[in-house]
Amino acid sequence: MKIRTLVVTASLVASGGLVAFGGSAQAALYTTCVGDGGAVTVTNDLVVPAGKSCTLTGTKVRGEVRVEAGADLVATGATFNGAVDVAANGYLDLTDTTVKGALHAESAFGTHLLNTSVKTGTTATGGFLYAVDATLGGAVKATSGELYVSGSTLSGSLTGDSNLYTDVYDTTVRGALTVSGNSLGGVLCASEVEGATVYRNNAEALQLGADGPLSSCAGATYLGSTLAVTDNTADAVLDNAIVRGALTATGNTPVLKVGELARVRGAVTGDTAPAASASAARRAAPAPQDRGDDLARKAAERLATARADAGAAGDSGL
């Protein structure tokens, strides 16, 4: 394992060093990680340098964590007290890990969260955000990438804006759910949303509670507030869902299809049409594919590369 603790003064800023914390009169203390790290406590910030890989097991970081451009950070059983930032083409893979600050990924390759807790908000712009059995606090937002959430609990809102798709399975969202401008649409399956739910300006297909056409879905969906499905060019289906509030379905081409297992407690505004039965829909459509399988493959490939690179760095002592 190669872990170095560096003190960087303000004089290094002009040559590309880190900006000093607390003004130029003080030094910035941070630790770099290249290779494999264990159950130690890092008392300052942790940086994975550009293009390098770091794996951590049982590590505690009291400061912030930064994954620089093209770098990889893989952590299992870790605790990060501060924020986590992932730069362009960086990769973050967290398992059984707690992030007490916010998580932000900007043009990253991807972020994979497995049985992991992020306390104060998650944002991803570009790349994928793939959360499985996660506990996410604050607002969660993914833009211009791929968003897939399964088996998770979100204490705030969930937003998927201008992604390829936004797919939500077996998840509780205690705030609002907003899915807009997704070119391949989205899936909402066997989930509960307590706030308002909005699907607007999406294309391709929207599967809201239904069993198909995008994916198999056996469980029911519960929407505790209103549902607005507006201005979509997607083939949109609502079925096997309870909508406690009103349903607004305007400006959709084709119109929203509502199945026989959908229950809307409030008023219905706009145009809807009956949906084919689930069995008939399955016969007419290609075999549904869970897009999480593709994300799992992408994550596994990058993870394997990261582990190999970190292992090589550790063995070589570089």
Task: Work out the widest C-alpha separation in the chain, in whole angstroms.
Answer: 72
Measure the CA–CA gap between 197 and 189, rounded to whole angstroms: 13
- pLDDT band, residue 276 (cuts 50/70/90): confident
Q: For residue 308, which amino acid is it?
A: A
Nearest C-alpha neighbor of 163 from the set 136, 213, 198, 125: 125
What are 148-197's pLDDT values in tens digits?
999 999 999 999 999 999 999 999 999 999 999 999 999 999 999 999 99
pTM of the entire predicted model: 0.90
- What does the DSSP 8-state code read for residue 284? H
Average pLDDT value for residue range 30-59: 96
What are 70-119's pLDDT values in tens digits?
999 999 999 999 999 999 999 999 999 999 999 999 999 999 999 999 99
Q: What is the dihedral of CA 150, 152, 158, 160, to 10 degrees?
A: -20
| Strand locations in 137-226 (E) | 140-143, 146-150, 153-154, 158-161, 165-169, 172-173, 177-180, 186-189, 192-193, 197-200, 205-208, 221-223
What are 203-215's pLDDT values in tens digits?
999 999 999 888 8
What are 118-150's pLDDT values in tens digits?
999 999 999 999 999 999 999 999 999 999 999
CB 243 within 8 A of CB 262: yes
Q: Is the confidence at residue 10, as pLDDT, over 70?
A: no
Q: Is the confidence at residue 20, as pLDDT, over 60?
A: no
Helix (H, G, I), strand (E, B) or coil at 36: strand
